[in-house]
Amino acid sequence: MQIIELLNEYAFGIAVPIGLVLVGIFYCIKLRAFHLRHPIVLIRSLFEKNRGDGVSPFRAVMLALAGTLGVGNIVGVASAIYLGGAGAVLWMWVSALCAMILKYAEIVLAILHRKRDKSGELYGGAMYYIRDFFASKKKNAFGAVLAGAFANLCIINAVSMGSMIQANAISSAFEGVWDISPMAVGIVLSVLTLAVSARGTGGIVKLTDLLVPVMSLGYVVLSMAIIIKNASALPSVMRDIIGSAFSTRSAASGAFGFLLSGAMRYGAMRGLLSNEAGCGTAPAAHAVSNTDSAAKQGIWGIFEVFVDTIVLCSMTAFVLLLGYESAAEHGGNFIMMTFSAYSRFLGGAAEIFMCLAVLFFGFATIVCWAHYGFVGVRYFSEKSSARRIFMIIYSISVLVGSVVSTDTVWQAADLAIGMMTVINLSMLVCMSGEVRCETEKFLRTAREKK
């Protein structure tokens, strides 16, 4: 356990944030910051219709957002601020700006290397472009091992972050607000998860297509009401964010101390946990899209990161910092910290709304990660029995997560997502030529349409 903590804190806690920034800068240079130079082209592409079978690009991004709009937006933000200070918020924003172009790149590769099964259903993920890349270099064995390792990590992360952590947040919310037994909540969640996941990708997409827009809009309205009402305090909050962003806390001064700062470590890691860009999970959601352009689907990934981190995580952070005196009373209980901050401004009704928000956010993430887990399992076996076994194990993990402490699970999730990110970032660099070619083709087509 101590080894995992050390890896998360000093290896992945430093390597992952730096890697995200460096590879993000690399791609900005490689693609000549096209997402900043051509905003109108990007926005226009989001409204273009696509022909063909499969899931629409919008529904694919709703599935991907379901995987990111969960604990990271509520519990993750609270834990980042509590552990890293207000400055962690700035590092969330930095990681998001770098993450946008990374998510674009990994989605482009997912579309270019996706597969179609015997029934004509589209599927794919990072493990497939990893395998294809090494196959093209005549290193099939190494590619199969690395892709298999990634698929295993995806399954581990599905059971830990996607299932147990989300279920624990939901059960903690219901116990804290309505004093409902975590076991009872866990049983209901487990049965619902089994019922939805049994319907396959189609059933999961239909549910996320309904839940994500509704819960996101409600969360934005509630948060904006608090922020606007307390607008006079925002300058002070911003000073706190910027002023503490570069604090090294107890670390040594200088560059090394900066890299060890709690603000950077927890801000970047919790930002990554929220938007998941660069770690290679979103490709499994976007690969099912019926898009006619890999670049166009990648642009939906940019939109995804913006909504998740720049909009929703920022709103949670501002409300927490505005009401931090109340939130601090629950220090360490991150879900109740957020509830307390919202309740300070909106009264008891806010707790009820936030409890429902955690339920919808969390359950959408649970069913989305069931899909990610299926993709990982599918890499090893196409048999329906393998899928059913995972489905049962996954549903049981939901129940377990509802009733046990998730401190160890958080460590496992951080380790898995850190390792996935290191592997995926390496592949993004190696395969950047494909991404650039696809981007240039997209921009040429966009210019011809003018």
- State residue 252's pLDDT score: 33
What residue numbers bound the domain in which 271 lies? 2-37+55-449
List the chain residues with pLDDT less than 70.
1-13, 50-54, 66-75, 247-275, 406-407, 449-450
| Tally of domains within the chain | 1
User: Residue 123: which residues within 8 A CB-CB, separation 6 or more?
Assistant: 114, 115, 116, 117, 201, 284, 287, 288, 375, 378
- Cβ-Cβ contacts under 8 Å for 255 (sequence gap 6 or more): none
The pLDDT assigned to 263 comes to 47
Q: Does 183 reside within a domain?
A: yes
Per-residue confidence (pLDDT) for residue 349, from 0 to 100: 75
Would you say residue 443 lies in a domain?
A: yes
In a domain, residue 389? The reply is yes
Q: What confidence score (pLDDT) does residue 255 get?
A: 35
- In this predicted structure, what is the pLDDT of residue 254? 33
Distances (CA, A) of 296 to 70, 435, 438: 25, 12, 10
Output the CA torsion 188→189→191→195 (10° steps). Answer: 130
CA distance 156 to 139: 26
Q: Is residue 331 part of a domain?
A: yes
pLDDT of residue 68: 66
- Are the beta carbons of 204 and 367 closer than 8 angstroms? yes
Q: How far is residue 100's CA from residue 217's CA, in Å, rounded to a whole number?
A: 22
In a domain, 442, yes or no: yes
Q: pLDDT at position 310, please?
A: 82
116 assigned to some structural domain: yes
pLDDT on residue 138: 93
CATH number of domain containing 416 = 1.20.1740.10
